[in-house]
Chain A
Amino acid sequence: MKKSLLVLALSLATTGLVHADDTLKKIKDSGAATMGVRESSGALSFTLGDGKFVGYHVEICERVLADVKKQLSLAKLDIKYQPVTSQNRIPLVQNGTVDIECGSTTNNATRQKDVAFAVTTYVEEVRIAVKANSGITTIAQLSGKNVATTTGTTSVQLLRKHERANGVDFKEVFGKDHADSFLLLESGRADAFVMDGQILAGNIAKAKAPADFKIVGEVLSVEPIAIMVRKDDPAFKKAVDDSIKAMMKSGEIAKLYDKWFVQAIPPANTKVGLPATEATKFAWANPNEKPVEEYVKK
């Protein structure tokens, strides 16, 4: 009996030392929460400069934290914005630097081993952008053509898989960021740009002549994008999920979506022009945290 108590006490002590697992308590004690944001993740999460961060996921998180504040009956809750990159976002959530990551993280099985995801708030479709006058309408027509995509994204692996499965041969060209990949398409070095739909739509909206480009062809892959929180902290995850589910139920989330993806957004007052897809609407109607592996590929 004594021994088991000792073991229990030890294990409690060590977990307490290694992890600040109780995010709600941490927020209550410090009166502050740290939100992980992205510098440029399409309309999901981006900066306006001067340390200001906005976007669809940022606004959802702000509302979630407002609900958390209510739940903890705090008089004041400071929100700190911490820019993250796709390289450091998971370590920063794990080590407690970031309490809630509101960027563009794909929910997949590998990451679920390290972190937890809130219910999916956005479902991304990977599409193909081409020049409007190119006559390309399906991925099969891209055989032997130059296909651009961005280094460090899941689309690279996706193209590789597609190449093998369908026996087509693309000449891949890699841009160092999305703007660069779009320039490859614009300057004719690439015949197509394969990337997340909202990024394609956003880049086309910002192009010199948006009418010259169009998004065509089948959906190459479907990826659930979700807000990320620490693993093994059910109380905080429940608070976040409840808040998001309430927004889904009330239709609030559809309004937020419309604000960021359909209406003109800062800084340049351009429109992404991407109404919610069926997959996204389905995720709102049936809140879930399925990883990408469980989405059926078309």
Chain B
Amino acid sequence: MAAWDWQVFCKDTIEGEVVPSCFGSGGDITYLDWMLSAWGWTLSVAVLALIVAVSIGSLMGILRTAPDKRLVAVGDAWTELFRNIPLLVQVFLWYHVLPSLFPTLRQVPSFVLVVFALGFFTSARIAEQVRAGIQSLPKGQSYAGLAMGLTLPQTYRYVLLPMAFRIVIPPLTSESMNIIKNSSVAFAVSITELTMFAMQAQEDTSRGIEIYLAVTGLYFASAFLVNRIALFIENRVQIPGTIGASR
């Protein structure tokens, strides 16, 4: 291959001319501008989907350990439904199939749809982890909580969950990193995120190697940042003498 040409990021997206400052002005954008905005979309999709995933996933995980069979069934059904359908298929179901069944969904922007699709998909995996975390605690802990006169919700809130969440921080970290990488499916429903930027910009400029290297770097940096944040949280919340505090 010919030599690398990193100037490609300073090119204007319309005329393909190199802009001296590397950033466009007056409504025109360069590939660098475009890539940063694409990065923003990737992070927005990932962060919002993670919020959806953690809140619904925790709820479903808790339901699956509840003493009531009906609640367990709801949690199990949710997990199996979203865990057993491929992510890309789920995104298409949200984007193409559901709006044709419920016409009001047509007004919903694809960004919202993909946040829910990705969030629900990941919530099933988080539900499984939260369930595993709660079940890894000795049964005696919940009995002890109930024997102290706490109600069931109070037992969860003050006895079980504080331990369970600390235990599942490592798998949750993996999930949070996965959600950044999985957000690349959003390109399939017309979100201009990093993967889509890469495909389009390499076609526009024929400098695929530079574009893909830069995009790879941004994905890596984002996932690694999540990893570091999670590690920080893990270290801050650990309780000496318990699981996970061996470091």
Distance A164 CA – B202 CA, assembled complex (angstroms)? 21
Q: Are B188 and A87 in contact, CB atoms less than 8 angstroms apart?
A: no
Q: Are B187 and A157 in contact, CB atoms less than 8 angstroms apart?
A: no
Q: A160-B13, A174-B190, A187-B100 are in contact. Are A152 and B2 (CB under 8 A)?
A: no
What residues on A are CB-neighbors of B2 within 8 Å? 114
What residues on A are CB-neighbors of B188 within 8 Å? 176, 180
- Chain B residues 129-166 with CB under 8 Å of chain A are none
Q: Are B96 and A183 in contact, CB atoms less than 8 angstroms apart?
A: yes
Q: Does B204 contact A (CB under 8 A)?
A: yes
Interface residues as binary, B188-205 with A (CB distance below 8 Å gives 1, 0 otherwise): 101010001001101110
Closest to B27 in A: A164
Cross-interface CB contact of B204 among A111, A157, A174, cutoff 8 Å: A157
Task: Looking at the assembled complex, report how far the CB atom of A167 sits from the nearest CB atom of chain B, in whole angstroms.
Answer: 11
Task: Looking at the assembled complex, report how far the CB atom of A207 sits from the nearest CB atom of chain B, in whole angstroms.
Answer: 15
Cross-interface CB contact of A111 among B13, B202, B206, cutoff 8 Å: B206
Q: Are A151 and B200 in contact, CB atoms less than 8 angstroms apart?
A: yes
Q: Does B208 contact A (CB under 8 A)?
A: yes
Q: Are B1 and A91 in contact, CB atoms less than 8 angstroms apart?
A: yes
- Chain B residues 199-226 with CB under 8 Å of chain A are 199-200, 202-204, 206, 208
User: Chain B contact residues (Cβ within 8 angstroms of A): what range?
Assistant: 20 to 34
Q: Are A187 and B96 in contact, CB atoms less than 8 angstroms apart?
A: yes
Cross-interface CB contact of A156 among B99, B200, B206, B208, cutoff 8 Å: B200
Q: Are A160 and B14 in contact, CB atoms less than 8 angstroms apart?
A: yes
Q: Does A202 contact B (CB under 8 A)?
A: no
Q: Are A189 and B106 in contact, CB atoms less than 8 angstroms apart?
A: yes
Distance A104 CA – B242 CA, assembled complex (angstroms)? 63
What residues on A are CB-neighbors of B99 within 8 Å? 187, 189
Cross-interface CB contact of A164 among B14, B100, B199, B200, cutoff 8 Å: B14
- Chain A residues 151-201 with CB under 8 Å of chain B are 151-154, 156-157, 160-161, 164, 172-176, 180, 183, 187-189
Distance A175 CA – B189 CA, assembled complex (angstroms)? 7
Known: A187-B99, A188-B106, A189-B106. 9 other contacts (CB 8 A): A111-B206, A114-B2, A114-B206, A151-B196, A154-B203, A172-B190, A173-B190, A174-B190, A176-B188
